[in-house]
Structure 1
Amino acid sequence: MKTEQYQKRQTATATDKCFRIGRPTAYFILLLLTYTVGYLSASSSTSHPPSPSFTSAVTATNYSSPPSSSSSNQLLDPFRVTTRCVDPIPSELVRQTLLDRFFNGSTPFQDFPADHAAKLLRPTIVKGWGSNGAVFENLIPKVKPRTIIEVGTFLGASALHMAELTRKLGLQTQIICIYDFCGWAGFGDRFENLPMINGDVLLRYQFMQNVVTSNKTGSIIPVPYSSGSALIELCELGVFADLVEIDAGHDFLSAWSDINRGYRILRPGGVLFGHDYFTAADNRGVRRAVDLFARVNGLKVKVDGQHWVIDSVELYYDSS
């Protein structure tokens, strides 16, 4: 009897020791199994997040026809223009509206040029690229624009050309030139002996001098701000145009932003157009932005030399 009781006590003691030793190990094994099963389940049931590359998203989408509103919304959410435009104001009020908003009601050409800049300016430095392309003579007689917005004007070559074309047609056209007049990094290497005051190469002053020399101060007005901020402001002021030219930044994101904002302030029947559709970077820059915009919105891109053209209504343009 004593032997049996002793054996039972020994067995119970051994079991208790085994339990005390095995419990932490069991907890650890259980935890490890839980983590492993959870990780494997997540990997198999959840797809990886989409690549941040916008190109991948576009390439995977079939644009043979305009995408549905739901898929289009999902695709363009990160790029959506949210500014609310007011109703368009009459064309005859455009100039004074801009003078009131940007120049305290007076013309920026009043008492031009300032003394500190006068001795540094040349009568004209009209440098541009594609500024006399056939697209201007093709579009202006057909659209007969009352208001033109040019995004990216540099020294005003194309604006002056458009002003002369509208004058010959007897049109009272206001041309709004949006540009920050800062140039771009390294642009001075392409020009000799640019005057400079405290790091400012006086692009706006030279642009204005070109306008004064050409006697176009009544039809051309500069808006000396970045394209994004200026287009937003025009949208909120109700300043719409019959022709909108996009020729500022040439990388994809800059062109995409300007095209979207420019199209929003296009009057019905107006035309959006721009330069540099064919360049060495066309698949990464302007051409990519233009083609994508047209596909997303179910529009057509027409080509005139180096210029691209998108009609808000397929009505006016025929380059043949």
Structure 2
Amino acid sequence: MKEAHHPRKILIMFTTNKSTKASLYLLLLLLSYILGFYTGKHLNKQNPTQLPEIHVELPPYPDLLRFRTLCSDPVPSKLVRKTILDRIFNGNSPFQSFPPAHASPLLRRKRIKGWGSTGPVFETLIRKVQPKTIIEIGSFLGASAIHMAELTRKLNLRTQILCIDDFRGWPGFRDRFRDISSVNGDVLLMYQFMQNVGYVNRTEEILPVPFSTNSALSWLCELGVYGYLIEVDAGHDFHSAWADINMAYAILRPGGVMFGHDYFTGADDRGVRRAVNLFARVKGLRVELDGQHWVIGSS
């Protein structure tokens, strides 16, 4: 075994001992092994061995199923409004001293517009759930939120409505809503939303949460702000709807209800309907329909 650690001695034996072909063959094989051992040892110090890529058979839609499902302990319903005001608006209502002087002349006195915003499904679900907190994903100009606020007041419910929207519109938005002003490229959608809420005197029931749906829902999950009733009506392509539905479900209280619009559209199974059906199948839940609206209860 000594020779295994001294290549020079092996080389000398190779040049002086030529008795048989078999010996030469064995020595040559041994020399090749030792040189390979030392060379490999040197290279491995500089370039660690790369493990071969392993192909594993994954279940269908592996990435699409990975969403956060555990959130913080729930904030008491009576503290939801204060929590949002403290964490977003430094403890002050955004409606205080609204509108600001620079925006006031640019706002319509009232510009309430929505799609399917006053359907019977709203009153049906509010009567059923009696929600203390409603979370709306996709608010636009506030038509649905205002309608829900009027229903809760009519039913003598003390309900806080949180409206998640980045209030930026969408590509092509300006072509359809030229009367919504903008300043230096900043469209005044949030200001017009707030103007509408103030016009109907619902500033105590409604609060904007002016962030993208993804970041807002993750943040509410971390805070422990849950909804008894959640309306999902933001992006209508499959991927947007799929993410919104999954993230919203994480902050739906037990016994609560999640619903949304545009189940029947020209997108068919490439949009909201596909996302809703896939979610229900994955979670083992049932989809109920009310006109254009879909409804899913918590498990």
Give TM-score scaled by structure 1 length: 0.74
Q: Structure 2 residue aligned with 1:76, among 43, 55, 62?
A: 62
- Check whether the contact 1:83–1:232 (CA below 8 A) recurs between aligned residues: no
Residue 147 of structure 1: aligned partner:
133
How far does residue 49 in structure 1 lie from its aligned partner after superposition? 8.7
Deviations 1:128-147 (A, max 9, x none): 00001111011101110000
On the 8 A contact 1:147/1:242 being kept in 2, the answer is yes
C-alpha distance in 2 between matches for 1:229 and 1:154: 17
- Whole-Å separation in 2 of the counterparts to 1:138 and 1:83: 28
Q: Which amino acid aligns with 1:86?
A: S
Residue of structure 2 aligned with 1:119, choices 105, 109, 125: 105
Cα contact 2:68–2:247 (8 A) shared by 1: no
Counterpart of 1:202 in structure 2 is 188
Which residue of structure 2 lines up, in the alignment, with residue 302 of structure 1?
288
In structure 2, runs of 5+ residues without a counterpart are: 1-54
Alignment counterpart, residue 178 of structure 2, candidates 183, 187, 192: 192
Alignment of structure 1 residues 262-281 onto 2, 5 Å: 262-281=248-267
8 Å contact from structure 1 (residues 99, 107) kept in 2: yes
Inter-partner Cα distance in structure 1 for 2:161 and 2:169? 20
CA drift at 1:282 = 2.2
1:219 to 196, 199, 205: 205
Secondary structure of the structure 2 residue equivalent to 1:300: coil
Shift, 1:78, TM fit: 4.5
Amino acid at match of 2:178: E
Distance (whole Å) between structure 2 residues aligned to residue 78 and residue 276 of structure 1: 21
Distance in 1, matches of 2:135 and 2:200, equals 19
Shift of 1:239: 0.2
Answer yes or no: is the 8 Å Cα contact 1:148–1:175 preserved in 2. yes
1:100 paired with 2:80, answer no
Distance 2:119 2:230 in 1: 15
User: What's the offset of the Cα at 1:86?
Assistant: 0.5
Distance 1:83 1:144, change over 3 A: closer
Q: Figure out how many residues of one structure are paired with residues of the other and give that number.
A: 246
**Would you identify which runs of 4 or more consecutive aligned residues in structure 1 move more than 4 Å?**
none
For normalisation by structure 2, the TM-score amounts to 0.79
Other-structure match for 2:116? 130
Matched-pair contact (CA < 8 Å) for 2:180–2:189: no
The alignment-based identity, stated in percent, is: 66
2:143 pairs with one of 157, 166, 190: 157
**Match of 2:26?**
none
- Counterpart check, 1:109 vs 2:77: no
Task: Find the aligned partners of 1:256 and 1:101 in 2 and give their Cα distance.
Answer: 27
RMSD of aligned residue pairs (Cα, Å)? 1.8
